[in-house]
Structure 1
Amino acid sequence: MRRYWFVTNARSGSTAETVAADIRDTLSAMGHDMAGRTGFPDDDLPSSDLLTRAGVAWMVVYAGDGTVNAVLTALDAWDGAILILPGGTMNLLARTLHGERDALAILRRLADQPPRHVSLPFVEADGHHAYAGLILGPATRWAAAREAVRDGQVGRLIRTVRLAWRRSFGAGLRVAGVPELDRRYQAVFATPCEGHIDLAAVDARTWRKLFDLGRMALTDDWTNAQGVTRAFSTSFRITGRGGTSALFDGEPHRLPAGAEIALRHGPANIIATFLAQAPWSASGWRSSSDGA
């Protein structure tokens, strides 16, 4: 039996309270005991000390990548295990760790096999972490339009779309430390991998390049489209004096000019059931049956 703490986010893309109840019932049937629950972001996340005092061995997160990011960042020094269940829109980390299984299928798989743990690489900048991916540059303004859609605010949506469109064709972003990226870009996508950051920089200011980018996004790997430059690095910097907008696993932050973006690795405490398509090496796995 393990004591676990349950984190949910009712505003995540596909979270449902009925599924959350099924998750609790399934964990109870597996012999696990819930020590507490957090409804993020309305409730504060528990501290490492609180979890330790409560005898918690597992943190179970049923939410999207943004909430998962907050949990991993807040508990980077905790020695318990973290189980990520898909409850958001993209669920990039959950899909990498467990394949296309839903939350209950993942729990059933864990009931049949000992939990395995992996250390996740992440991108760090100005104290913020990105585990699924970091987006830099003017194109991040489109995230505000996404939030307006979620909130059902039509007037705000129109305003944010207009601003995002103008910013996407503005001066652009420059970075230093990556020789292949020597231009101004509308967006730079940084994906943490084993041993490097996978960079895809977008400079699609002509209608032909925009059309090709959209076509490739629908039919193929968009990073092969015209206007996209690929590069690999372990660190780089933002140049200029004004800083830039950034999305860390979909959550917006403002990075100052000169901010360094670097590859880091977390502790080996993330529960995984499937890693064949993981962007990092499976050699980081360690097997365990005690939930530590």
Structure 2
Amino acid sequence: MGTAKAWLVVNARSGSNSAAARDALERSLAAHGLTPERTIEFPDEDLPTAASLREAGVARLIVFTGDGSLNAAIKAVAGWDGELLVLPGGTMNLLSARLHGAETGYEEILDCIHRGAYRPVRPVMACCDAGCAHAGLLVGPGTAWAEVREAMRDFDIPGLARGTGEALAEMTGGARVRMVDPLIGHEDGYPLLELTPSHRGLQVEGYRPEGPGDFLQQGWAMLRRRFREGPHERLGLYDRLVIENCAGEPLELLLDGEPARLGSKAEFSVEECPVDLLATAHGF
């Protein structure tokens, strides 16, 4: 489908969406014979839907955003019979790494697409009543660090200082979360549980810093979305699990970096992606 009719979705707030980066991407798309017919500036413009793509005869949607906007784009086109090409347009690009390899830039990805060296896949997602995550789902008071990361991105110095203190307070004193079905891990819970979807199920990691140094190390890891650089333990692989708040409070979540909230106990499971994604990595 090298000459398939395509639309492009971008987001100026995403980590790699500078004007220069956008210009370079457009040149690369043209060089590979993949020039999109239309560019959608999300969130200023609405995301395309399965119906709008079918009506316009679009066969491929190219998404150059961060993981949060990408999550929203996939949800918007659920049930569409076309194909979605993920390009690394954000800060961490976790789903792009899953599909194409952690160190793969868009030039190499586009070269593979141009040569036909790819395949459509429907990788599993981590799902709950609040939504689904393609790259990762976080549960617990440690998710408060997301607001600090937003302040860093917006160069909001007062917000950064205020948010850092609040995030540390939440991580050290907030109500912890624990797995109850299956009953695995520490009974008094964790400040943060991470659920990472893979073809083997949900990989669950528990983050349990103990002293001040551990909390600062974990906070710094959270800000860079490199959670596993902080103190943690692997709790296993599951197709389904139940997590509860140890104090009966609502569960705070991050779905691909976007905040959400559930009741004090919730079920998490795996589901298949609702649209074909193009993969170029050997893992698929």
CA drift at 1:124: 0.8
CA drift at 1:186: 0.5
Once the two structures are superposed, residues 82-136 of structure 1 have per-residue CA deviations (whole angstroms, 9 ceiling, x without a partner) of 1011111111111222222221222122222343111111111114111111111
Aligned-residue sequence identity (percent) comes to 32
Could you tell me how far apart the structure 1 residues matched to 2:38 and 2:220 are?
47
Could you tell me how far apart the structure 2 residues matched to 1:104 and 1:262 are?
34
Q: Pick one of 167, 172, 179 that aligns with 2:176.
A: 172
2:199 aligned residue:
194
Which amino acid letter does the alignment assign opposite residue 191 of structure 1?
Answer: T
Could you tell me how far apart the structure 2 residues matched to 1:143 and 1:263 are?
24
User: Could you list the runs of 5+ residues in structure 1 that have no partner in the other structure?
Assistant: 277-281, 283-292
1:132 aligned residue:
135
Could you tell me how far apart the structure 2 residues matched to 1:91 and 1:216 are?
16
Which amino acid letter does the alignment assign opposite residue 178 of structure 1?
Answer: P
Corresponding pairs, count: 274
CA drift at 1:27: 3.1
Could you tell me how far apart the structure 1 residues matched to 2:131 and 2:27 are?
34
Could you tell me how far apart the structure 2 residues matched to 1:136 and 1:271 are?
29
Pairing 1:233–2:238 present = yes
CA drift at 1:213: 6.6
Contact 2:48–2:73 (CA<8 Å) still a contact in 1? Answer: no
2:58 aligned residue:
56
Which amino acid letter does the alignment assign opposite residue 193 of structure 2?
Answer: V
Specify whether residues 35 and 254 from structure 1 end up closer, same or farther in structure 2 by C-alpha distance, changes over 3 A only.
same
Specify whether residues 223 and 152 from structure 1 end up closer, same or farther in structure 2 by C-alpha distance, changes over 3 A only.
closer
Q: Pick one of 242, 256, 272 that aligns with 2:263.
A: 256
1:289 aligned residue:
none
Specify whether residues 216 and 86 from structure 1 end up closer, same or farther in structure 2 by C-alpha distance, changes over 3 A only.
closer
Pairing 1:269–2:276 present = yes
Which amino acid letter does the alignment assign opposite residue 47 of structure 1?
Answer: T
RMSD: 2.6
Could you tell me how far apart the structure 1 residues matched to 2:214 and 2:161 are?
25
Contact 2:66–2:90 (CA<8 Å) still a contact in 1? Answer: yes
TM-score by length of 2: 0.87
User: Could you list the runs of 5+ residues in structure 2 that have no partner in the other structure?
Assistant: none
CA drift at 1:35: 3.2
Pairing 1:148–2:151 present = yes
2:110 aligned residue:
107
Secondary structure of the residue aligned to 2:36 is strand
Which amino acid letter does the alignment assign opposite residue 172 of structure 1?
Answer: R
Could you tell me how far apart the structure 2 residues matched to 1:253 and 1:77 are?
24
Which amino acid letter does the alignment assign opposite residue 245 of structure 1?
Answer: E
CA drift at 1:244: 1.6
CA drift at 1:268: 6.2
Pairing 1:159–2:166 present = no
Specify whether residues 270 and 200 from structure 1 end up closer, same or farther in structure 2 by C-alpha distance, changes over 3 A only.
same
Could you tell me how far apart the structure 1 residues matched to 2:241 and 2:80 are?
29
